[in-house]
């Protein structure tokens, strides 16, 4: 049975103000913050970006900033060599190909140097109000545990979610599923006992066959 609609209705109720927890003031700042958020918490990213954006918060300024300075500032976010490269590459690409303005189209965002598919989808949805489903570690884990997706990689998960969810709900659904993963359906120890969608969850059904609670 397809429980997707019911699950999303319940999660929408759980997270009525669902939105990105990254702090940003422009599409470019969001793009940089999402690059930094890989393997790092949004909270930590938010402690680093004020200093980074004080030094450079436009593609041109970031393209001009020495990479060593970027690395020094973003060190607390981890993987700072590669993240600094991605930030620098994306800034240079935006300057060279898009006149210093972050492109608004998903396909253009997805071809920016240094920008992965997840980052492009988040920027398209959050900064420009487009409909996309960014599959990060939380969305991947939760949607497959719930049974909305049945995939072993993020791209297939994204495709299956897009097939299961009406397009006008893609961006909101991404936030609901992500926040559920961050606060309830945690990676190591999911809080199934407190979970509002427990009775609709494939993982829960498979691991609690004798639990008759409703
Ligand atoms: S029941 Fe457990 S595994 Fe299923 S969504 Fe809830 S927390 Fe995650």
Determine if ligand 1 sits within 6 Å of the CB of residue 204. yes
d(CA 62, CA 60): 5
pLDDT for residue 11 is more than 70: yes
pLDDT at 22 over 60: yes
Please say whether the dihedral angle defined by the alpha carbons of residues 42, 43, 48 and 52, taken in this order, is positive or negative.
positive
Residue 14 annotated in active site:
no
User: What is the structure's pLDDT at 209?
Assistant: 76
The protein residue whose alpha carbon is closest to atom 2 in ligand 1 is 192
Is the distance from CB of 127 to CB of 121 less than 8 angstroms?
no
Q: What's the whole-number mean pLDDT along residues 180-195?
A: 97
Catalytic, out of 83, 93, 136, 172: 136
Task: Give the mean pLDDT of 71-87.
Answer: 98
Task: Identify the burial level of 81 via C-beta atoms within 10 angstroms of its C-beta, where 0-12 means exposed, 13-18 middle and 19 or more buried.
Answer: exposed
pLDDT tops 90 at residue 213: no
Distance CA 122, CA 32 (A): 11
**Number of residues assigned to the chain:** 214
Within the chain, all domains assigned CATH 1.10.1670.10 are found at 4-16+134-207
In sequence order, what are the residues at sequence separation of 6 or more whose Cβ sits closer than 8 angstroms to the Cβ of residue 209? Answer: none
Q: Which residue has the higher pLDDT, 11 or 17?
A: 11
| Whole-number Cα distances in Å, 49 to 52, 81, 115 | 5, 16, 18
| Distance from residue 152's CA to the centre of ligand 1 (Å) | 18
pLDDT of 168:
97
Question: In angstroms, how far apart are the furthest CA atoms of the chain?
Answer: 61
Question: Nearest-CA neighbor of 180 among 166, 164, 200?
Answer: 200
Answer whether 148 contacts ligand 1 (Cβ < 6 A).
no
| Residue reference for tokens 């500032």 | 73
| pLDDT tens, residue by residue, 119-146 | 999 999 999 999 999 999 999 999 999 9
For residues 71 and 80, is the Cβ–Cβ distance under 8 A? Answer: yes
- CATH code for 4-16+134-207? 1.10.1670.10
Catalytic residue, chosen from 118, 156, 172, 186, is 118
The mean pLDDT value for 41-59 works out to 98
146 lines ligand 1 (CB under 6 A): yes
Q: What is the mean pLDDT of the chain?
A: 96
Q: Where in the chain is the domain with CATH 1.10.340.30?
A: 27-127
pTM attached to this predicted model = 0.92
**pLDDT at residue 81 tops 80:** yes
Q: Looking at the domain 27-127, which fold is it?
A: Endonuclease III; domain 1 (1.10.340)
- Band (pLDDT 50/70/90 cuts) for residue 167 is very high
Q: Which two tokens stand for residue 125?
A: 């949805």
CB 127 near ligand 1, within 6 Å: no
Residue 190 in contact with ligand 1 by CB distance below 6 A: yes
- 136: annotated active-site residue: yes
Cβ 6 vs Cβ 46: under 8 Å: no
Distance of CA 156 to the CA centre of its chain: 16
Ligand 1 mutation pick, 197, 199, 200, 206, max ligand atoms within 8 A of CB: 197
Instruction: Give the residue, by CA position, lying nearest to ligand 1 atom 8.
Output: 185
Measured from the CB, is residue 80 less than 6 Å from ligand 1?
Answer: no
């Amino acid at each position: 049975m397809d429980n997707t609609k019911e699950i999303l209705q319940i999660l929408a109720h759980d997270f009525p103000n669902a939105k990105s927890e990254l702090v940003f003031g422009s599409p470019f700042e969001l793009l940089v913050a999402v690059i930094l958020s890989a393997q790092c918490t949004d909270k930590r990213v938010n402690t680093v970006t004020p200093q980074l954006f004080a030094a450079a918060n436009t593609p041109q300024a970031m393209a001009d900033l020495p990479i060593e300075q970027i690395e020094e500032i973003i060190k607390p976010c981890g993987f700072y060599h590669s993240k600094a490269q991605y930030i620098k590459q994306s800034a240079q690409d935006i300057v060279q190909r898009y006149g210093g303005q972050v492109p608004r189209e998903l396909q253009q965002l997805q071809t920016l140097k240094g920008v992965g598919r997840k980052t492009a989808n988040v920027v398209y949805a959050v900064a420009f109000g487009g409909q996309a489903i960014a599959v990060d570690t939380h969305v991947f884990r939760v949607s497959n545990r719930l049974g909305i997706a049945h995939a072993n990689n993020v791209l297939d998960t994204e495709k299956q979610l897009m097939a299961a969810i009406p397009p006008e709900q893609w961006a909101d659904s991404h936030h609901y599923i992500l926040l559920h993963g961050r606060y309830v359906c945690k990676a190591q120890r999911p809080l199934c006992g407190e979970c509002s969608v427990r009775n609709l969850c494939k993982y829960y059904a498979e691991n609690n066959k004798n639990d008759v609670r409703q």
